[in-house]
Amino acid sequence: MAEVSLCAGRPARGPEKPERKRLRISVSCLFPASWHFSISPVGCPRILNTTLRQIIVIGLLAAAFFLLYYSVVKYGFRDKKLHRYLARVTDTEATDTNNPKLNYGIMVDCGSSGSRIFVYWWPRHNGNPHDLLDIKQMRDKNSKPVVMKIKPGISEFATSPEKVSDYIFPLLSFAAAHVPRAKHKETPLYILCTAGMRILPESQQKAILEDLLTDIPVHFDFLFSDSHAEVISGKQEEDDAVVEVHIPGSENKEAILRKRTVGILDMGGVSTQIAYEVPKTVSFASSQQEEVAKNLLAEFNLGCDAHQTEHVYRVYVATFLGFGGNAARQRYADSIFTTTVFRNRLLGKQIGMTSDTPYLDPCLPLDAEDEIQQNGQKMHLRGTGDFHLCRDVIQPFMNKTNETQTSLNGIYQPPVHFENSEFYGFSEFYYCTEDVLRMGGEYIAAKFIKAAKDYCATKWSVLRERLDHGLYASHADLHRLKYQCFKSAWMYEVFHNGFSFPVNYGNLKTALQVYDKEVQWTLGAILYRTRFLPLRDIQQENFRGNHSHWRSFSFVYNHYLFFACFFVVLLSILLYLLRLRRIHQRMLHSGPSPSLWIEEGLPPPKIPGAL
C-alpha cells in the first residue's frame, strides 16, 4: 500500500502575500519506514523543468547496459564454445617458460631443400586415459612461433656425413635457447628425414644418422635416443587420407570427400575373409556376376539417424571356406595322398609307404618329417624346404578362373584402388609373419619372401634348437614350426594371386591388435547393432544441457529481477510525480492558486470563501 500527498502551501489568509509555495511528497510503502521527498518548484534548477525525463531515460539505459555487461563478463566464460575460442587465442600468446608444469618437445624436419626445427609445449596430462596431450607450438616473448630453417638439405652431406652434426647444431642451439635449461634433460628431440634422404643409398643414410646419434648427445642434454633419428616413409608425411565416395542411394548427387577407411584381411584356421569399402559405383561383366555381387556388397548406415547419409558405407565382404591356414594344409595333404596312391598303383612304386621312401614335400622345412593318415593307411613325408616350389604346387588350390574381377574360387571381387587404400591383416596373416619370422607389422613382399625362403631351407634340427632357446614367439610350438613354410607360401599366394594385390603393394600391416585393442568381427557386430543408442544419449545430454542452461539463465538473471522491478517501479513513480507536477504548474498559471491537497483515496478538502 502506498500513500502520496502533495501540499502546495497553507490556506490563503485574506490579502496577505502568499508565502513561497512548497511541494511536499510523501511515499509510504511496505518498507520499515516511509520515504519522504521534498521538492520546491521555485528553487529547483531549470534543467529539471526541461530535461528531467531525458536524464531519467538515459540513466535507465545506462543501468540496463551495465547489468547486461556485468552478466556477460561474469558468466559468459562458462560457455564451452567461448572456452574453446579463448584456448585458440592463448595459442597465439607467448609461452610461459617460468611455469614449471610445462613440458617441451623438439622436432627437426630434414627435407630435401632444407631443415627446420619446431619447438612444442604441453601442460601436464589430466590423467584421463581417453584424452591426448594438449600439444601447442611454442611462441617466444614476441608471440612468434619458435621456428628456424637452414639450407641446404641434409642429403647434400651424403659424401661427407661427418659434417652433418656441424650443419644441424645451429638449429639445436636455437631450440636450446628457448627451452628452459632445467627442462633440457626431459625434453625429447626427434630428427626425421624425408624425401631428400629416401633417395640416398641405405649405406649413406645410415652414415648420416650415425653421425647425428654420436655427436648430438655430447653437446646437448636433450632426450635423444637411437630411435629418435630416422628416415620416415612417404606415407608418414601424409595427412589423413581421404577418398571420393559416391553415397549409396544418391547416385544423382555429387560425390563427397570422406576420410578413407581401411580394408580387412582375416585368415583363420578354416576360412579366409576380406572386407573393404567400395567408394564408387561398380560395374559388372555379366548379369550373373551382378546377381552374385548383390550377396557380397553390403550397404549399411552406422549413423544414428537413418535419414542422414553421411555414415552410409558400401562394403564388399566375402568369406572363403576351406581357405584358412589349417584347412588349406589339409586339402593339400589330401591331394598328396590321393595323387601319390594313384601313381604308386599306376607305376608300381611304394613312395611314401615307408619312412625309407618318403614323399618329398617342398612345403615342409628341410628334413622335417610328417605323416598323413587316411582310411587306415599311413603316408610318410619328408621336407625339402623349397619355398618357391611350394608356391607353385599350391597355386591350383586358389581355384582361380579367367573371368575378370574375380578372386578365390572364381568369386566376384570389385576393383581395389591400390594407390589409395590401406589394409590390415589379422590372425594367420599376423602369426605367419611374426611368430617365427619376427617381422609382423608393415608387410614388404620382397623381405617376406627372403625370410620365408631362408626359414624353409633351414634344417629341422636347427629350427627345434632355436625354439628351445626361446628365439621365437612365446606361444610358438612344434606345430607352428612344422607348418610355417606351407603357411608362408599359402598366405603369400592368397594375398597376391588370390586377391590380386600387386607385389609392390606397400599398405598392408599385419597386426594382432590396433591401438592396444584386439580386433574381432564381434566389434563390428556390436558397433552396427548399437548404432541407434546414441540417440538416447543425445536426448539425455540435450535435456541436461537445456536444464543446465535454464539454471544458468535463472542464476544469472533472476537474481537481477529484483533490481529490474525496482527500476521499473521507480520509473513509474517518477513519471507519475512529473505528471502531477505538470498539473500543478497549469493550475498556477491559470490564476490565484488555492491550496491543493491530494491524498490517495480522499477527495480534496473545500476551501473557505471559494465560489
Asked whether residue 399 falls in the same domain as residue 427, the answer is yes
Q: Please check the confidence at residue 490 and state whether its pLDDT lies above 60.
A: yes
- pLDDT for 51 beyond 90: no
Residues 204 and 245 in one domain: no
Higher pLDDT, 184 or 134: 184
pLDDT digits (tens, 9 = 90+) for 83-109: 444 444 455 688 999 999 898 989 898
- The whole-angstrom separation of Cα 433 and Cα 312 is 34
- The reply to whether 418 falls in a domain is yes
Give yes or no for a cis peptide into 152 (omega within 30° of 0).
yes
DSSP structural state of residue 188: B
Q: Which of 189, 212, 232 is the last residue of a domain?
A: 232
Angstrom distance (rounded) from CA 115 to CA 112: 8
Q: Does residue 427 come out as left (phi exceeding 0), alpha (psi in the -120 to 50 range) or beta?
A: left
The set of cell numbers assigned to 421 is 587404400
- pLDDT value of residue 514: 76
129 pLDDT tier (thresholds 50, 70, 90): low
> Was 127 annotated as part of a binding site?
no
300-309, 378-387, 429-438: least confidently modelled range: 300-309
pLDDT at residue 283 in the model: 72
Q: Is 237 a catalytic residue?
A: yes
Each residue's pLDDT tens digit, 443-454:
999 999 999 999
Q: How many domains does the chain have?
A: 2
- The verdict on residue 47 lying in a domain is no
Report yes or no on 259 lying in a domain. Answer: yes
What pLDDT does 33 receive?
42
Q: 263 and 160, same structural domain?
A: no
Cell 517518477 sits on residue: 574
Least confident of 225-239, 327-341, 413-427, 547-561: 547-561
Is 286 one of the annotated binding-site residues?
A: no
Give the span between the Cα atoms of 109 and 191, in whole angstroms: 6
Mean predicted confidence (pLDDT) in 174-201: 90
- Its domain, for residue 476, covers 237-327+390-519
- Higher-confidence residue: 599 or 547? 547
Q: Which of 232, 254, 274 is the last residue of a domain?
A: 232
Average pLDDT (185-207) is 88
Question: Is residue 161 in a domain?
Answer: yes
Q: Which of 326-335, 476-485, 552-561 has the lowest mean pLDDT?
A: 552-561
Residue 269 annotated as part of some ligand binding site: yes
Specify which residues 300 forms β-bridges with. Answer: 313
Last residue in a domain, options 453, 486, 519: 519
- Of the pLDDT bands very low, low, confident and very high (cuts 50, 70, 90), residue 82 is very low
Tell me: is residue 270 an annotated ligand-binding position.
yes
**Pair 307, 448 in one domain:** yes
b (16+ CB within 10 A) / e for 193-228: bbbbbeebeeebbebbbebbbebbeeebebbbeeeb
| Catalytic-role residue among 237, 371, 541, 600 | 237
Percentage of the chain beyond pLDDT 70 is 67
Banded model confidence at residue 354, pLDDT cuts 50, 70, 90:
very high
266 and 145 together in one domain: no
Lowest-pLDDT range, 160-174, 220-234, 456-470?
220-234
**Are 202 and 119 in the same domain?**
yes
Residue 545 lies in a domain: no
Shared domain check, 244 and 190: no
Give the global pTM.
Answer: 0.52
How far is residue 221's CA from residue 309's CA, in Å, rounded to a whole number? 53
Question: Contact at 8 Å (CB) between 482 and 456?
Answer: no
CA 30 – CA 571 distance, rounded (Å): 18
- Same domain, yes or no, for 488 and 445? yes
**CATH number, domain with residue 434:** 3.30.420.150
Average pLDDT (249-277) is 81
Given this model, what pLDDT does residue 170 score?
96
| pLDDT(398) > 60 | yes
Q: How far, in Å, CA of 591 to CA of 296, rounded?
A: 106
Q: Clarify whether residues 275 and 317 are in a common domain.
A: yes
- Residue 54: all three cell numbers together: 531525458
CATH (domain of 204):
3.30.420.40
Confidence band for 587, pLDDT divided at 50, 70 and 90:
confident
Segment (H or E) for 338: helix 325-347
Please check the confidence at residue 145 and state whether its pLDDT lies above 70.
yes
Indicate whether 416 and 270 sit together in one domain: yes
Confirm whether 97 is domain-assigned. Answer: no
226 and 270 inside one domain: no
How confident is residue 174, by pLDDT bands cut at 50, 70 and 90? Answer: very high
Is 108 domain-assigned?
Answer: yes
Residue pair 480/464 in contact (Cβ under 8 Å)? The answer is no
- Grid coordinates representing 561 are 529481477
pLDDT at 286: 73
Burial, 483: exposed, middle or buried (Cβ in 10 Å; 0-12, 13-18, 19+)? Answer: buried
Q: What percent of the chain has pLDDT over 90?
A: 41
pLDDT class of 543 with cuts at 50, 70, 90: low
Give me the DSSP letters along 58-73.
Answer: HHHHHHHHHHHHHHHH
Average pLDDT over residues 241-270: 75
Same domain, 464 and 399: yes
Q: Residue 606 falls within a domain, yes or no?
A: no
**Ligand-binding site membership of 72 (annotated):** no
**The predicted structure's pLDDT at residue 198:** 80
Indicate whether 9 pLDDT > 80: no
